[in-house]
Amino acid sequence: MVEVKTNSVFVVDIDGTINDCSIELKKWKVFCGSAGCSSFRESEVEDLSSGLWCGLEKGRECSKEALIEKSGIFDKKAIVNLPPLRIARDNLWKIFKVTKNIWYVSGRPENQRVDTLNWLQKNEFPMCSLRLRSSIDKGLIPDIKATVVYILRNVYGKDGQQWFWIDDDERIREKAESLGIEYLKAPECWNGF
């Protein structure tokens, strides 16, 4: 059970954490598996959010990114129609009533800011600060997000705060722990509020 206090701070991912993006992730995996990508690795893992099917390593860029974008995977039309996780929304409102310290931190690109904000509003999520991946951010999403969270904590953090990071990507656990932040695995963590 997570005890929310006025000095609690929550970093919250979007895709797979507060919405159901499983259909888009499956499309992405199928696309990458059939596009002749040299970094693709077949995975038996059902939880596609971990990115285990993509063998991109630190410092490498996706050679198929433009084709993925062109195919419409996770594009504007797709993201505005992703179904919200009601349990996530309900719990975020509970958190928001105790502490306003919620940061949405997503690996989505900055050019999806308006669509993301519109989705949050349309689906009645608390409107909090949103941090997205800039066009110059290259590398693995967990590394990019960890840098963003490190900066947030150092710029906005205060002594005595307890930070929580809610994300569906298991690779975030190590990043969070290295920053002294408690990692909560979504979506199952929403049952603990």
Largest interatomic CA distance in the chain: 50
| pLDDT band with cut points at 50, 70 and 90 for residue 57 | low
Least Cα distance to 116 among 192, 2, 21 occurs for 21
What is the mean predicted confidence (pLDDT) over 176-182? Answer: 96
pLDDT at position 11, please?
98
pLDDT at position 46, please?
60
Are 143 and 58 contacting, i.e. CB atoms less than 8 angstroms apart?
yes
DSSP secondary structure string for all residues of 148-189: HHHHHHHHH--TT-EEEEEES-TTHHHHHHHTT-EEEETTGG
pLDDT at position 39, please?
74
pLDDT at position 56, please?
61
What is the mean predicted confidence (pLDDT) over 90-95? Answer: 98
Instruction: Break the chain into its structural domains and give their ranges.
Output: 8-20+83-192, 22-73
| pLDDT band with cut points at 50, 70 and 90 for residue 52 | low
**46 DSSP assignment:** S
Mean pLDDT of the chain: 88
Whether residue 66 has pLDDT greater than 80: no
**In the block, residue with structure tokens 């947030």:** 152
Element holding 131 (H helix, E strand) = strand 129-133
What is the mean predicted confidence (pLDDT) over 141-146? Answer: 91
Q: Could you report the per-residue pLDDT of 113-138, keeping only the tens digit for each?
A: 999 999 999 999 999 999 999 878 77
Residues in the chain: 193
pLDDT at position 186, please?
96
What is the mean predicted confidence (pLDDT) over 92-117? Answer: 95
Separation of CA 36 from chain center: 27
Least reliable range by pLDDT among 78-82, 153-157, 174-178 = 78-82
Least Cα distance to 125 among 151, 110, 148, 104 occurs for 104
- Second CATH level (architecture) for the domain 8-20+83-192: 3-Layer(aba) Sandwich (3.40)
pLDDT at position 29, please?
82
Whether residue 145 has pLDDT greater than 70: yes
Dihedral angle sign, alpha carbons of residues 80, 81, 82, 88: positive
What is the mean predicted confidence (pLDDT) over 72-99? Answer: 94
| Beta-bridge partners for 165 | 11, 183
Whether residue 146 has pLDDT greater than 90: yes
| Beta-bridge partners for 129 | 103
Whether residue 63 has pLDDT greater than 80: no
